[in-house]
């Protein structure tokens, strides 16, 4: 089952430049790899690819969601290689928070910045079973302590237990920067606002995909790819 109820609980509880054309004798232009172009969006996510792409794909996902991890491991590479790199499809990831640990790791991924957001997210998905197990294995005393904390304290404690700062350090964040990131109320608010906006638009599970603003059925690459083709994402 996809994470529907948890999303609502979170919402309630935590209120490079274009390449220079080069021509050979056959007049074949050099192509740009649009997957190297990543920028933040006004909605709060990160978009990879041509901002003027004919097909705009948006994923509402969670770094703590196993279904999103499955898509990352099966669909992310072919999406980039066959659709995003050419400039025909842009891909935006918007966080839809499902639990407290998701908030912690998502804040750190956003603080890593546009250039590192997708590489860090991929690593977070790859190691998801390991860092989540650390949280599942906490003692009863730790669970009781978490219950007595404020939301902001809980965000930082989840990161400590799961070793999230060590993950972030692989992508340029020092321990001091990670601590500052996790204590930033504005960063927390941006993520919560993005989740609230998604719920307000009727998005209630992860992953949810939209193509050119329209929500589609299906959460796997096998279901998504034919719809990208139909929308004109690949000739």
Instruction: Look at residue 63 in the predicted model and tell me its pLDDT.
Output: 98
Q: Looking at residues 127-151, what average pLDDT do you find?
A: 95
What's the whole-number mean pLDDT along residues 78-107?
A: 97
Confidence at 121, pLDDT banded by 50, 70, 90: very high
Looking at residue 3, its pLDDT comes to 54
| Helices (H), ranges, 14-150 | 66-74, 76-79, 100-111, 114-126, 128-136, 140-147
Mean pLDDT of 210-223: 95
Q: What is the pLDDT of residue 31?
A: 83
What is the mean predicted confidence (pLDDT) over 13-33?
47
DSSP bridge pairs for 40? 46
> Which parts of the chain are beta strand (E)?
38-40, 46-48, 55-61, 89-95, 208-211, 214-215
| pLDDT for residue 192 is more than 60 | yes
CA distance 11 to 168: 25
Q: Is the peptide bond before 207 cis (omega within 30 degrees of 0)?
A: yes
Q: Which residues touch 191 (CB under 8 Å, ≥6 apart)?
A: 44, 95, 97, 103, 106, 107, 110
pLDDT value of position 12: 43
- pTM for the complete prediction? 0.86
- Half-sphere CA count of 97, side-chain side, radius 13 A: 28
> 159: number of CA atoms within 13 Å, CB side?
26
Which pLDDT score is estimated for 28? 40
pLDDT at 161: 97
Is residue 20 scored above 90 in pLDDT?
no
Element (H, E) at 9: helix 5-13
Residue 1 has pLDDT above 60, yes or no: no
Mean pLDDT rounded to a whole number for the chain? 89
Say which residues have a Cβ less than 8 Å from residue 100's Cβ, sequence separation at least 6: 10, 154, 155, 158
- Domains detected in the chain: 5-12+34-231 (3.40.30.10)
Summarize the confidence of residues 51-76 as an average pLDDT.
Answer: 97
Q: Which two tokens stand for residue 29?
A: 């232009």
Average pLDDT on 140-149 reads: 94
């Amino acid at each position: 089952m996809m994470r529907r109820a948890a999303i609502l609980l979170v919402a309630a509880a935590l209120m490079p430049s274009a390449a220079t054309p080069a021509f050979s004798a056959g007049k074949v232009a050099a192509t740009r790899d649009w997957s190297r172009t990543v920028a933040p969006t006004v909605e709060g996510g990160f978009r990879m690819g041509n901002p003027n792409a004919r097909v705009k794909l948006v994923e509402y996902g969670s770094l703590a969601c196993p279904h999103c991890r499955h898509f990352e491991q099966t669909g992310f590479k072919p999406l980039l290689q066959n659709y995003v790199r050419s400039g025909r499809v842009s891909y935006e990831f918007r966080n839809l928070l499902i639990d407290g640990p998701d908030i912690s790791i998502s804040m750190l991924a956003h603080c890593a910045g546009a250039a590192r957001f997708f590489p860090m997210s991929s690593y977070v998905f790859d190691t998801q079973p390991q860092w989540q197990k650390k949280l599942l294995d906490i003692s009863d005393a730790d669970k009781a302590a978490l219950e007595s904390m404020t939301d902001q304290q809980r965000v930082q404690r989840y990161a400590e237990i799961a070793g999230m700062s060590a993950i972030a350090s692989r992508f340029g964040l020092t321990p001091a920067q990670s601590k500052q990131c996790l204590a930033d109320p504005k960063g927390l608010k941006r993520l919560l606002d993005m989740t609230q906006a998604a719920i307000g638009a009727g998005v209630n599970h992860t992953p949810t995909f939209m193509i050119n603003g329209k929500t589609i059925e299906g959460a796997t690459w096998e279901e998504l790819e034919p719809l990208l083709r139909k929308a004109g994402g690949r000739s």
